[in-house]
Structure 1
């Protein structure tokens, strides 16, 4: 299906954003591009865009049912989503429920350590700078967010975790960690934006004890484990089995 859309507004690693007939909305096309290590590693994976679009749609609607505001409006096709136009805050919020990845490389915390409450880290969104970790002093120096907005975005991110963690657990999945992007719409409302998918979440299959086999997320691509689309497909199957069919705006 070919959708009618306006000009290309932005192209990122995994999505293209187009203008729509509604000035307050944009169309998002989920691509099949897979990237890792700040796009130093790249590949084309058939069906990746469709899977991430459908998973994200279900999860955005899940958050909506729990009173969490998102930019999501609906799906327009298997790989296209309609969302509110937002001004993205240049901060990536990362919540960690279990220690792994960079946290274990940068600290003496052992792999697999449960983190309760979840560790919340803020990173400055800038590919050229490598998305550096922000300290309180750096946030104040850069002036990227006010103290009030920072408090709001951190509270919203923890609300998202409080919904997603038990939801995934009921599906036999461990939400190890995830990253969020947030933005402000034209009314000044703070919304969860971007996507929520195996590209942005670490998900482990609770039925597997093998450190590699349990991985059902982008780490399969990062670590050359293979089976990336199969893993994403498994996540999609479980999520769709627990959620209503996403509303269609096409």
Structure 2
């Protein structure tokens, strides 16, 4: 189970075969790696499931292999796995193929990836996130970790405005470590196991291209995102969920259309909690402690009903706009964005 979606298993994966199961998308949300926050956002789960299914079907149509099997249509007495178009209402459960996720032992912040891959064989979830960036905004961690010249950019230093990229930057980060970190290519290659690191980068670029083109067709700007992948008998497939407002950053007419809205709102309204989270992460890193959250001295406060309703409209109106279908009862996207700007 993740912090915002639940995991159902119909058939376990083995060393020789994929299993079957589903993601159940809840209305929970998470910011700053906290996990489940005190509130729920109405219809968020259905909007993310819908957008994820839409994107998986886009990828499959372009020949990109994925673990997607369809959405679960809860209609009447029986449930059935159908395409998004065939669903009787916006779905909140997605049927997927399952792979193996072995244990990843650790001592503090040192993780034993050799153990992971010895147990994984040739059927496993690659323990990486592959990040792609079409824009480098102010405040991006990329600015503190790298110089523009490392990415072929003709700047002596990062400028004081966002940088739009002619070609996406692809990076790798850990997935299962308590405090995830960005990796040099050689370490990412080792952590990926038998999966080819260059093939992962190429796959991320292709997914980014497809999502960016879809966003542009809907009048949206796709700024960055990530994929997670499984490896099965020599083939890399896109896994988890892809191209939603939680996994990726989109904007509309210069305004954020993603979970970034919630992050920024908490920074403005609950700065003590955000600072406590940052301090706990720094202390955990310094002391080689995996569980940073146990060091955090402040808990997040619930949000007001009007903020939750505004967030709900943003997710639902954004999904309507991105897919080109009025699947949710929601205001026009411009109105939803306007409400966010007034928070």
Compute the TM-score of the two structures, normalised by the length of structure 1.
Answer: 0.81
Partner of 1:193: 239
3-state DSSP class of the match of 1:36?
coil
CA distance in 1, matches of 2:42, 2:50: 14
Higher Cα radius of gyration: 2
3-state DSSP class of the match of 1:49?
helix
> Larger relative contact order (C-alpha < 8 A, sep ≥ 6)?
1
Which has the higher mean CA deviation after the structures are superposed, 151-160 or 131-140? 131-140
Shift of 1:60: 0.5
3-state DSSP class of the match of 2:126?
strand
Higher strand share: 1
Shift of 1:20: 1.3
Deviations 1:71-121 (A, max 9, x none): 111000321010111221110011000112323455553442111210111
Structure 2 residue runs without a partner (length 5+): 14-18, 74-90, 100-123, 147-156, 267-306, 328-343
Partner of 1:33: 28
CA distance in 2, matches of 1:242, 1:106: 40
Partner of 1:60: 56
Partner of 1:117: 167
Shift of 1:224: 1.1
Task: Answer yes or no: is 1:224 the counterpart of 2:265.
Answer: yes
CA distance in 2, matches of 1:154, 1:242: 31
Partner of 1:15: 5
Compute the TM-score of the two structures, normalised by the length of structure 2.
Answer: 0.60
Shift of 1:148: 5.8
| 1:103 and 1:109 in contact (8 A); partners too | no
Higher helix share: 2
Task: Answer yes or no: is 1:96 the counterpart of 2:139.
Answer: no
| 2:28 and 2:36 in contact (8 A); partners too | no
Structure 1 residue runs without a partner (length 5+): 1-10, 245-250
Q: How many residues align?
A: 224
Task: Answer yes or no: is 1:126 the counterpart of 2:176.
Answer: yes
Partner of 2:320: 237
Give 4+ residue runs of structure 1 displaced > 3 Å after superposition: 104-108
| 1:122 and 1:133 in contact (8 A); partners too | yes
| RMSD, aligned CA | 2.4
